[in-house]
Amino acid sequence: MSNQLPGDVFVYDLLKNTTRRWTFSETGGLDVAHFVEPKIVHFPTFDQVAGKPREIPALLYLPPAKFKPPYPVLVSIHGGPEGQARPYFLDRNNYIINEMGVAMVRPNVRGSDGYGRSYLGLDNDRQREDTVRDIGALLDWIAQRKDLDQNRVAVSGGSYGGYMSLATMVHYSERLRCGIDYVGISNFVTFLKNTKDYRRDLRRVEYGDERIPAMHDFLQRISPLSSVERISVPLLVIQGANDPRVPASEAEQIVRKVKQGKREVWYLLAKDEGHGFRKKKNKDFMNRVRIRFLQTHLLAP
């Protein structure tokens, strides 16, 4: 697994302790050796473990030497929520690092997979916003580093990461330049009501059962849509019209509310996509929109 290997197949011989590469993926003539590999970093968050601050792991990608620090920063939050940011091939995101000079941080906030059962459950039910507090601690960590520009930070996420991106903008807009919500949840109650039946019970285990009045009120309160007036930075919303997991209504209601508040929002809706863009023409167009959005709002002095 590497940012310089786009999903190739290797065979490892246990007896000889050797590795042989079977496939060589096409990368459009790009030299993958120029793609930045991440560093594993840790930052302290708000709570403690055994009397010491809890450490949150993250992957840090720094731009190549042709760019000089302090670098603008894109905080990229994985979905799931029981997912994990891993050092796999970044595909089009390499352009943001290599050609735009933007540092990328991909945190594994509490609730992420791969760090034990107790860590996985730290965001369940009424602990949901503790994950957002982890991002607040990440912003503190960015501010302490001389190679990162605390005054030029953007946040981005897809699916559950889209909720995290919106929630980060609700709580920390004054510390951000802009944010991107990609097929994300804007309101847990409407999401649980409108997601496909085969996913509803599974998601209730993670987020809480909205049919219980106290939990309904809690989910309503922590949903970004309920505090949309606190989002004061430009927002880009990207959505597939045929999404069975996070319906397009989640995107439409946050876009409508932001517009009503007379704040800037860009909205990209693909009529032939579902939960995430799959068609190359759509992915290419989405990438151009993201680049223009970040150039306009993150890179500007």
Question: What is the C-alpha to C-alpha distance for residues 29 and 135, in angstroms, rounded to an integer?
Answer: 37
pLDDT for the residue 93: 87
- Considering only residues 1 and 64, tell me which one the structure prediction assigns the higher pLDDT: 64
pLDDT tens by residue, 206-215: 777 788 899 8
259 found inside a domain: yes
Check residue 3 and give its pLDDT: 67
Please name the helix (run of DSSP H) or strand (run of DSSP E) that holds residue 72, with its range, or none: strand 71-77
Can you tell me the distance from the alpha carbon of 253 to that of 23, in angstroms, rounded to the nearest whole number?
44
Cis peptide, bond prior to residue 244, ω within 30 of zero: no
Instruction: Using pLDDT thresholds of 50, 70 and 90, give the confidence band for residue 10.
Output: confident
Q: Grade residue 300 by pLDDT with cuts at 50, 70 and 90.
A: confident
Is residue 10, in this structure, part of any structural domain at all? Answer: no
What average pLDDT score do residues 12-23 get?
89
For the chain, the average pLDDT equals 91
Dist CA 152 CA 175 (whole Å) = 8
Query: Residue range 139-149: average pLDDT?
Result: 96
Candidates 84, 101, 96, 92; CA nearest to 40 is 84
Q: Which residues contact 200 (CB under 8 A, 6 or more apart)?
A: 192
Contact yes or no for 149/70 (Cβ under 8 A): yes
Residue pair 37/3 in contact (Cβ under 8 Å)? The answer is yes
3 state DSSP class of 104: strand
Q: Provide the token pair at 150.
A: 């605390």
**Integer Cα distance of 44 and 61 in angstroms:** 19
DSSP H or E segment with residue 9:
none
Question: Does residue 6 form part of some domain?
Answer: no
Residue 14 counted as domain residue: no
Residue 15 lies in a domain: no
Please check the confidence at residue 295 and state whether its pLDDT lies above 70. yes
Owning domain of residue 90:
29-297
Is position 281 within any domain? yes
Tell me the per-residue pLDDT of 70-128, one tens digit each, with 9 for 90 and over. Answer: 999 999 999 888 889 888 878 888 899 999 999 999 999 998 999 899 999 888 888 88
Q: Is the pLDDT of residue 29 over 80?
A: no
Give me the percent of the chain exceeding a pLDDT of 90: 66
Q: Tell me the CA end-to-end span of the chain in Å, nearest whole number.
A: 36
Cα 14 to Cα 25: distance, rounded to the nearest angstrom? 25
pTM of the model: 0.90
Measured distance CA(13)–CA(192) in Å, rounded: 47
Q: Looking up tokens 């953007």, which residue turns up?
A: 154
220 within a domain of the structure (yes/no): yes
pLDDT of amino acid 1: 65
Report whether pLDDT(25) > 90.
Answer: no
Residue 124: the pLDDT is: 83
CA-CA-CA-CA dihedral for 249, 157, 205, 211, to nearest 10: -30
pLDDT, tens digit (0-9, with 9 covering 90-100), for 33-60 = 778 889 999 999 999 888 999 999 999 9
**What single DSSP character describes residue 70?**
S
Please give the pLDDT value at position 35: 82
19 belongs to a structural domain: no
DSSP 234: -
- What is the domain count for the chain? 1
Give residue 24's pLDDT: 77
Q: pLDDT at residue 192 above 70? A: yes
Read off the pLDDT of each residue in 267-274 and give the average, rounded to a whole number: 94
CATH number at 169 reads 3.40.50.1820
Which stretches within the chain are classed as H helix? 93-98, 117-120, 130-144, 160-172, 188-194, 197-207, 213-222, 248-260, 280-297
pLDDT digits (tens, 9 = 90+) for 146-184: 999 999 999 999 999 999 999 999 999 999 999 999 999
Do the bridges between strand 71-77 and strand 52-61 make them parallel or antiparallel, or are there none, so unpaired? unpaired
